[in-house]
């Protein structure tokens, strides 16, 4: 499906972009986030949570793998980095087919559990504050959202 690309020049800009995405997400939506350490995956997630109406501060869940927040719907923030080289299933199906929105940092480590319909987001480091954010829409629903966000 279509791919969209957008350049960010600050952490705030990334969060604002992610917030606009969060405002458009619906029940059962899954977004995957890829990018090196420090690329901005958690920064992006903070903005996305804001767009979903989450009031609590969103932090890196590295030591818990899955953190749950409440906005206008449940919001599950996963960082599956620690599942590298493991086939462990933490009940992903229930999250991905549930009534909330899921965001998965380092999603390729749980590739086998990911739903087909998802928005794949890649953040690439370009300089101190510059990042290129690529959106890969794997459904019509996400394609529509991408068109609105990055025309
Ligand atoms: N354009 C940008 N977008 C996102 N983060 C940025 C940007 N410019 C600088 N940063 C900084 O890069 C760091 C990204 O950290 P983080 O979001 O924790 O990355 P990750 O979760 O990918 O490891 C933060 O300190 C953030 O302030
Ligand atoms: Mg992170």
Q: What is the mean pLDDT of residues 75-95?
A: 92
pTM of the model: 0.96
Give nearest CA residue, ligand 1 atom 6.
11
pLDDT (tens digit, 9 = 90+) per residue, 53-62? 999 999 986 6
Residue 8: pLDDT over 90:
yes
Give the Cα separation of 98 and 87 in Å (integer). Answer: 21
**Dist. CA 122 → ligand 2 center (Å):** 13
Is the CB of 122 inside a 6 Å radius of any atom of ligand 1?
no
**Dist. CA 123 → ligand 1 center (Å):** 10
Is the CB of 32 inside a 6 Å radius of any atom of ligand 1?
no
Q: What is the mean pLDDT of residues 57-78?
A: 91
What pLDDT does 64 receive?
86
Domains of the chain plus CATH, in order, are 3-149 (3.40.50.300)
Residue 2: pLDDT over 80:
no
Q: What is the mean pLDDT of residues 41-58?
A: 97
What pLDDT does 1 receive?
65
């Amino acid at each position: 499906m279509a791919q969209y690309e957008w350049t960010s020049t600050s952490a705030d800009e990334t969060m604002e972009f992610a917030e606009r995405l969060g405002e458009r997400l619906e029940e059962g939506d899954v977004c995957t986030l890829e990018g090196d350490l420090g690329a901005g995956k958690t920064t992006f997630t903070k903005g996305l949570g804001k767009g979903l109406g989450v009031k609590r501060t969103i932090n890196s869940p590295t030591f818990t793998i899955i953190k749950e927040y409440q906005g206008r719907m449940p919001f599950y923030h996963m960082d599956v980095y620690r599942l590298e080289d493991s086939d462990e299933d933490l009940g992903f199906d229930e999250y991905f087919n549930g009534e909330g929105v899921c965001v998965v940092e380092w999603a390729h480590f749980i590739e086998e559990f990911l739903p087909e319909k998802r928005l794949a987001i890649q953040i690439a480091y370009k300089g101190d504050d510059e990042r290129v954010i690529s959106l890969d829409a794997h459904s019509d629903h996400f394609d529509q959202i991408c068109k609105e966000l990055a025309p």
